[in-house]
Amino acid sequence: SGNVRRKLIEAQAAAEQDPFFEANVEALRAVVPPDISHKEIAVQIGAPWIEPNDISNFVAELFQDRAERIKVHYDRNTGAYQVELEGGACALVSREAVTTWGTQAVPFRDLLDAALSGRSPKVTDTIEMPDGSRKEILNAKETQAAQTKLDAIKQRFREWVWESEERRERLIKRYNEQFNSLRPAEYDASFMLDETGGGQVPGMNPNWKLRPHQMSAVLRTTIERRGL
C-alpha cells in the first residue's frame, strides 16, 4: 500500500543486490494502478506537472518563433510561474498577439500570465466623478473579449500537449507517477474471528460480537494508531 510505484523502484534496486527481494517486486507489481491514458487526463496550461519547457515550446509553436526567446520558470515553493520574453519575440510584437491570441486591451503576454496563474482577465475604464475623483469601472465588452481569447489559448494547449508522441508519453508517465501511484491499505481481520464469524476484543461485553468489517476496523486502528 502507499506509493507503490516508488516502493517498486526501491524493491527492484534491492532485488538486484539480493534475490530475496524478488518476492517484494512481484507483490508490488501486482498492485500498481493501471496507467491512466491521455484521454482521461484533464490537462491545464498552468498545471504544476507540466514542464516549463513545454510552455516555452507551446508559445513558440503558437507564434512560429524560437523557443529560446521564451523563458518560463516555475517556483515549486510558491507555485508561481515567471515568463520572460525577448524584446523581439513574436508573442510580444506580432499582430497575432493582439488579434488571434489576444486583444488590444489584453495582449497575449497578459493572457499567458493569467492562464499560468489561474486568473481571469479583467478590463476596466477610468471615469471622472462629479466631485473630481476618479473611479475604475468594469469594461464588460473588453473583458468578455479577453476571456474568449484566453479560452481559445487554453483549448489550443489541451490539443497541442498530446500532439507530439514524445511529449505525450513523457507527460503521461509523469502524471501517473505523481497522481496515480497510491494504493490504500486493506486490513483482513479474519484471523481474529471465531467459528461463528464474529469477533471480540478485550473489555467487550461478552454478549456482543463484532462483525468482520468491524473487526477489520479495529485491526486498522490498532496498526495505524488513529481512527475516525
Strand partners, 82: 73
Q: What's the mean pLDDT in 151-170?
A: 96
Residues in contact with 24: Cβ distance below 8 Å, sequence separation at least 6, in sequence order: 11, 14, 15
* Residue 72: CB atoms within 10 Å: 22
- Specify the pLDDT at position 59: 97
pLDDT surpassing 90 at residue 102: yes
Q: What is the reported pTM?
A: 0.79
- Specify the pLDDT at position 130: 86
Banded model confidence at residue 129, pLDDT cuts 50, 70, 90: confident
Question: For 68, which DSSP code?
Answer: G
Q: What's the mean pLDDT in 103-125?
A: 95
- Specify the pLDDT at position 228: 79
For the chain, the first-to-last Cα distance in angstroms comes to 19
Are 60 and 182 within 8 A, CB to CB?
A: no
Strand partners, 126: 136
pLDDT tens-place string over residues 131-150: 888 889 999 999 999 999 99
- With a pLDDT cut of 90, the percent of the chain lying above it is 87
Pairwise CA distance, residues 66 & 129, whole Å: 47
Pairwise CA distance, residues 218 & 211, whole Å: 11
Pairwise CA distance, residues 23 & 39, whole Å: 34
Which among 156, 155, 170, 151 is positioned nearest to 38, based on CA atoms? 170
pLDDT tens-place string over residues 2-28: 999 999 999 999 999 999 999 999 999
Which among 135, 188, 171 is positioned nearest to 52, based on CA atoms? 171
Pairwise CA distance, residues 211 & 43, whole Å: 44
**C-alpha 8 chain-centroid distance:** 22
Question: For 199, which DSSP code?
Answer: B
pLDDT tens-place string over residues 56-90: 999 999 999 999 999 999 998 998 999 999 989 99
For 75-211, where are the alpha helices, taking DSSP H only? 90-93, 108-117, 140-160, 165-179
Cell readout for 212 is 468482520
Which among 184, 187, 182 is positioned nearest to 221, based on CA atoms? 187
Q: Report the DSSP pairing between strands 70-75 and 80-85.
A: antiparallel
